[in-house]
Amino acid sequence: MTVSNTTINWDAIETVLLDMDGTLLDLHFDNHFWHEHLPLHWSRHRGIELEQAREELLPRIRSHEGTLNWYCLDFWSRELGLNIIEIKQEIRDLIRIRHDTERFLEFLRANDKHVILVTNAHQDLIDMKFEVTQIGRFFDHVFCSHTFGFPKEEQGFWIRLHEARPFNREQAILFDDNLSVLQSARDYGIAHLVSIIQPDSSQPPREITGFAAIDRFEEVMPPA
């Protein structure tokens, strides 16, 4: 299912909630880090072959999927005995803005929308990605799940967000590539929800069911 500019009444939208990784930014950086770059460091750290490092590391990481630990660089630094943010810095040149992200953010600002970044990313990673992409200037507010103590997959995040910056849920829209996050936002009562068909440019497009989905932001912007 896709959504087009004919199905979003922007006049009825006050608050735009935006995920970062896989929505505004290409998820390739993050996937490459966890699946390729970190296992390489782990193999050196443990003195084992790369394939064995993957076999040890990836199930260990996946066991925390959907929890705050999954996204916490401090947790993984302690857990693995590696400086995760320093290792991420080594491949920062892979950080990329998705498609027409900047034009979409300019459209939102030009139309006086209340633009809020809502991300599970650790603050150190947000800072690094803002430095590389310079997209931080587009947001009225930036909230990360670590501040609230809940990942976006849990209702606690949305409750804390609403307490911090009250907004009308009927006049809010969330763009996020994570379907579990979208479901959580739906359960909280956020009326307008849009997923991303291809969060990682190195992976094929996904089939999205249950939510409207787009490939490019131009699909939800009025014609210039």
Q: Two tokens at 10?
A: 């922007």
- What does the DSSP 8-state code read for residue 154? S
pLDDT, position 150: 96
Number of domains in the chain: 2
Model confidence band, residue 99 (pLDDT cutoffs 50, 70, 90): confident
Please check whether residue 1 lies inside any domain of the structure.
no
Please check whether residue 198 lies inside any domain of the structure.
yes
Backbone angles phi, psi at 221, to 5 degrees: -100, 140
Under 8 Å CB-to-CB from 69, ≥6 apart: which residues? Answer: 75, 76
Please check whether residue 70 lies inside any domain of the structure.
yes
Please check whether residue 124 lies inside any domain of the structure.
yes
- CATH code, domain carrying 159: 3.40.50.1000
Backbone angles phi, psi at 195, to 5 degrees: -100, 175
56 and 162 in a common domain:
no
Domain endpoint, select from 67, 93, 119: 93
Is residue 5's pLDDT more than 60?
A: no
148 and 46 in a common domain:
no
203 and 140 in a common domain:
yes
Axis-axis angle for helices 50-62, 38-46 (nearest 10)? 120
Please check whether residue 170 lies inside any domain of the structure.
yes
Domain endpoint, select from 51, 76, 93: 93
171 and 189 in a common domain:
yes
Give the tens place of pLDDT for each residue, 145-194.
Answer: 999 999 999 999 999 999 999 999 999 999 999 999 999 999 999 999 99
The parent domain of residue 54 ranges over 29-93
159 and 127 in a common domain:
yes
Please check whether residue 5 lies inside any domain of the structure.
no
pTM of the model: 0.94
DSSP per position, 99-141: TTHHHHHHHHHHTT-EEEEEE-S-HHHHHHHHHHH--GGG-SE
Model confidence band, residue 195 (pLDDT cutoffs 50, 70, 90): very high
Backbone angles phi, psi at 119, to 5 degrees: -140, 150
Give the tens place of pLDDT for each residue, 59-86.
Answer: 998 999 888 998 889 999 999 999 999 9
172 and 88 in a common domain:
no
Domain endpoint, select from 44, 70, 93: 93
End-to-end CA distance of the chain: 24
If you search the block for the tokens 């925390």, which residue do you land on?
A: 64
The DSSP element (H or E) to which 86 belongs, if any, is helix 84-89
Q: Look at the alpha carbons of 41, 198, 23, 179 in this order and tell me if their dihedral is positive or negative.
A: negative
Under 8 Å CB-to-CB from 23, ≥6 apart: which residues? Answer: 98, 175, 176, 177, 196, 199
